[in-house]
């Protein structure tokens, strides 16, 4: 059996990071979710909770900033990977203890 690449699997099944707006650099917000497709858009809100000056809800900035991300994150797969990694580490620890014990108590 081949060795499992836990890091590659974690990267594959971790949630996609929230993208930054390609126009203003602000973190975008979720506008719609459909299955694994997540549509993000820049809402135009400022830090005070109001729209930034000169911005409206359905403006050109919002339309140009929209992006669809395929999010294949799966928390159950990540939990299973954690369990498998813990199991593998414990097995390695017990094998070392057994080997050390055998070397310490072997007879010639």
56-87 pLDDT, tens digit per residue, is 655 677 777 778 877 777 888 889 999 999 99
Q: pLDDT in tens for each of the 108 residues of the chain? A: 468 788 888 888 888 788 888 877 888 888 888 877 888 888 666 666 666 665 665 567 777 777 887 777 788 888 999 999 999 999 999 999 999 999 988 876
Candidates 101, 85, 81; CA nearest to 14 is 81
pLDDT value of residue 91: 96
CA max distance for the chain: 87
DSSP 55: -
* Residue spans per domain, the chain: 1-12+74-108, 17-71
């Amino acid at each position: 059996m081949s060795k499992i690449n836990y890091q590659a699997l974690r990267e594959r099944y971790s949630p996609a990071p929230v993208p930054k707006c390609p126009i203003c650099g602000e973190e975008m917000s979720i506008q719609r979710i459909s299955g694994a497709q997540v549509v993000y858009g820049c809402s135009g809100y400022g830090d005070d909770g109001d729209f930034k000056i000169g911005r409206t809800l359905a403006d050109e900035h919002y339309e140009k900033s929209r992006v669809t991300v395929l999010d294949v994150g799966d928390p159950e797969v990540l939990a299973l990977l954690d369990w498998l990694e813990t199991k593998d580490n414990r097995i390695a620890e017990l094998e070392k203890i057994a080997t050390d014990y055998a070397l310490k108590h072997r007879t010639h």
